[in-house]
Amino acid sequence: MYGYVARQPIFNTNMKIYGYELLFREGIMSFAPDIDGDKATCEVLSNTFLTSDLQKYTSGKKAFINFTRNLIVNLIPLLFPNDIAVVEILENVGAEDPVIDACRQIAQKGYLIALDDFIYKSDLEPLIQLSDIIKIDFRQGTLEKIQDNVEQIRKYKKKLLAEKIESYGEFKTAVEMGFDYFQGYFFSKPVTIKGKKLSIPKLNLLRIIIEVNKREFNLEQLEKLISDDVRISYKLLSHINSAYHRRVLEISSIKQAIVLLGEVEIKRLFSVLAMTKLAKNKPHELIRISAVRANFCEILGINYGTNVSARELFTLGLFSLIDAIMDDSMENIMEKVPLSKNIKDALVYKTGFLSHFIELVQAYEKGNWQEVTVFSKKLNIEENKLPKIYLQALKLADTLKT
């Protein structure tokens, strides 16, 4: 069984991934109020994580998992690997003796403990003492109240995590306040610069991505585009001559390398290589999510017989964060690249049939399960197949090293 699992990135001050908070549900009926929350949580945890490798969902990084009071008291967190799992205690869990005793045992076993949506109260001191990370929601109250909260817990010398950071301005403010970790989608927002022009090298990179994702790419055209970029050319020749490919004779020309790699590998390799170069000074998570979205959309197209090209869907997902990658408006970028009208309408105006694919993958990655249901129905997709597709998309994205 594959559980419904999504992940939200958590960054350090250098915009590197520290871990992911896992967002999950048991299944479509988990919204029903008569289902016991602890039972549903235990089932999805055991079916999803204890029968598979937790690292598959976090790319080997920390996994922040929410636990209810009963799960904590029953020491369910001890079922998980202590080098990956971070035990996140929900804000409605009080500092009662059974909870404190359980947390003490969990901490003694080497687990990190995080307090979620924390608002300082003196009676929470026993939990604060046992915790490693304090999470503060940036949407709860004014900056002054957040600062007061920070000052109250600073004496405990715990790591601070700012939740729901939605802009680079909020990220900068949280850094100045002394936060250590940052959670939210601020990194996926463009920092638009008025009058910014698309440089020729960057335009060339965009053209490489578009060319390799055509149904039938032009070999000569692709060879020319790649040859015009020294770094991409070097990456290609290094890749094809690596031990992985075990060539008897060294490949010395761009054309030879393209032919030997084949369509599928060329598409994946150059899409991510070019995107990575475009996002040189951006968090690598932007590239990772773009690749996950591209794979997710493509697999939907391959497996579910839609009336659109899987190649087109791959391109749609890949370009869905290009505005944040290039710090420009989506409309401005789309005016300059030769993509189909269907893709441009979906990315710029959120209209047309293709827009439902990107809305589905965005809803899934945010753990917005109600919207997942809505867009699955619009696309006539079997919703219970989505968890397996998402995990497959994560795996494919993680195999692409740049």
Tens-digit pLDDT profile for residues 279-323: 888 899 999 999 999 999 999 998 876 678 888 899 999 999 999
CATH 3.20.20.450 domain locations along the chain: 4-188
Strand 112-115 and strand 133-137: pairing? parallel
Q: What is the mean pLDDT of residues 229-234?
A: 74
The dihedral formed by the CA atoms of 61, 55, 68 and 43, expressed in degrees to the nearest 10:
170
Q: Residue 135 corresponds to which tokens in the numbers above?
A: 């999470």
pLDDT of residue 400: 62
pLDDT of residue 275: 85
Q: What does CATH list as the number for 4-188?
A: 3.20.20.450
Cβ-based neighbours of 295, under 8 Å, separated by 6 or more: 314, 317, 392, 393, 396, 397
Residue found by looking up tokens 């697999």 in the block: 299
Quickly list DSSP for 137-205: ETTSS-HHHHHHHHHHHHTTT-EEEEE---SHHHHHHHHHHT-SEEESSGGGS----TT----HHHHHH
Q: Distance between CA 354 and CA 53 in Å, rounded?
A: 33
Burial class (CB in 10 A: 0-12, 13-18, 19+), 237: middle
pLDDT of residue 355: 96
Q: What is the mean pLDDT of residues 216-232?
A: 79
CATH 1.10.3210.10 domain locations along the chain: 200-399
* CATH class, 200-399 region: mainly alpha
